[in-house]
Chain A
């Protein structure tokens, strides 16, 4: 009993600590790597919540696939450090006052809601119940939620085509690049050479 609570606090501390660092960090590469730590903490919590299937796909899909995609884009863009310029609207005292008041109201509402819900005394009714097995979840997924599952496949397909269309170099652009002088040719190598990339970008604008 007590051991589980300790584990909860350990994983919660990992999740909150790494997530805070993600938001505070100014280098996006560190942000992405720290977010993987946060996902691992959350996966631990899912195991505590008897959801091993979700814990595993959290690691495989989120930490393994999505974060690698992020890391790839961060490195591909050779992202410059964030310039800490605040726009004028954040500086004005009126905005700050309104923001602080909204934050206080939100915190009070949250405290009220949680205080109220604690009287309902949610506890696990059947502690010894085994976790849902993967076959069980798969059966539900392909029977009760078959339509949603198929719709998701279409969504993934559309997202894939959309990503290729948006990020892929258009053929017309490629043809234009070929007809340009050699100084701009570095743009075709994926934008890795920084000096050439900046020049090419300006020439394009």
Chain B
């Protein structure tokens, strides 16, 4: 029987991988993917807590997180397309037009 700590450690590991991806990668799409990984790590801990507290609130919060993630992905990818049209690269260091 897997205990709560198993799931929390797994969630922490996934969140760390996602954070590393956001900070280290130089490709906007991979950064967005790493963001999804981080959201999923949080979802896992929500579900685990909901299960071990015997409540359905965890699942409902995850439902909302998935919805917000879908909205975020849509807007984020639209921004990536708009930016790519201007600078022809996916390197976030190149997006500095506002800085002049």
The reply on A112 being an interface residue by CB < 8 A is no
- Pairwise interchain contact B85-A19, C-beta atoms closer than 8 A: no
Shortest distance between the CB of A28 and any CB in chain B (Å): 5
A4 touches B2 (CB 8 A): yes
Given contacts A137-B60, A159-B75, A12 and B10 within 8 Å (CB-CB): yes
Are the C-beta atoms of B71 and A156 separated by less than 8 Å?
A: yes
Whether A156 contacts B67 in the complex (CB less than 8 A), given A12-B10, A66-B73, A69-B73, comes out as: yes
Report B100 CB to chain A, min CB distance, Å.
15
Q: How close is A96's CB to chain B, nearest CB, in angstroms?
A: 13
CB distance from B10 to the nearest CB of A (A): 5
- Please report the number of residue pairs spanning A and B whose Cβ atoms sit closer than 8 angstroms: 211
Q: Is the CB of A22 within 8 A of B34?
A: yes
The A contact surface, by secondary structure, is helix
- Residue with the highest number of chain B CB atoms closer than 10 Å, among A62, A198, A204: A62
The reply to whether B51 and A51 contact each other, CB–CB distance below 8 Å, is yes
In contact, B88 and A124 (Cβ under 8 angstroms):
no
| Pairwise interchain contact B63-A124, C-beta atoms closer than 8 A | no
A140 at interface by CB-CB < 8 Å? yes
- Residues of A163-205 at the interface with B, using a CB-CB cut-off of 8 Å, are 163-167, 191, 198, 201-202, 204-205
Counting contact residues on chain B (CB < 8 A from A), the size range is 35 or more
Whether a CB of chain B sits under 8 angstroms from the CB of A160 is: yes
Q: How far is the CA of A31 from the CA of B90 in the complex (A)?
A: 15
Contact check: which of A62, A110, A163, A204 meets B75 at CB < 8 Å?
Answer: A163
**B54 engages A140 (CB within 8 Å):** no
16 A–B contacts, CB within 8 A, in A order: A8-B2, A16-B13, A23-B34, A31-B30, A45-B47, A49-B51, A58-B43, A70-B77, A73-B80, A77-B81, A79-B27, A83-B91, A110-B12, A140-B56, A156-B70, A166-B79
Measuring CB to CB, which residues of chain B are less than 8 angstroms from any residue of chain A?
A: 1-10, 12-14, 17-18, 20-21, 24-27, 29-30, 32-34, 36-37, 40, 43-44, 47-48, 50-52, 54, 56, 58-60, 62-64, 66-75, 77-82, 84-86, 88-91, 93
Which 7 pairs of residues, A with B, have the shortest CB-CB distance?
Answer: A159-B71, A167-B78, A122-B4, A23-B21, A166-B78, A163-B78, A8-B2
Interface residues in chain A, defined as those with a beta carbon under 8 Å from any beta carbon in chain B: 1, 4-5, 8, 12, 15-16, 19-20, 22-23, 25, 28, 31-32, 35, 38-39, 42, 45-46, 48-51, 53-54, 57-58, 61-62, 65-66, 69-70, 73-74, 76-77, 79-80, 82-87, 110, 114, 117-118, 122-127, 129, 132, 136-137, 140-141, 145, 148, 152, 155-156, 158-160, 162-167, 191, 198, 201-202, 204-205
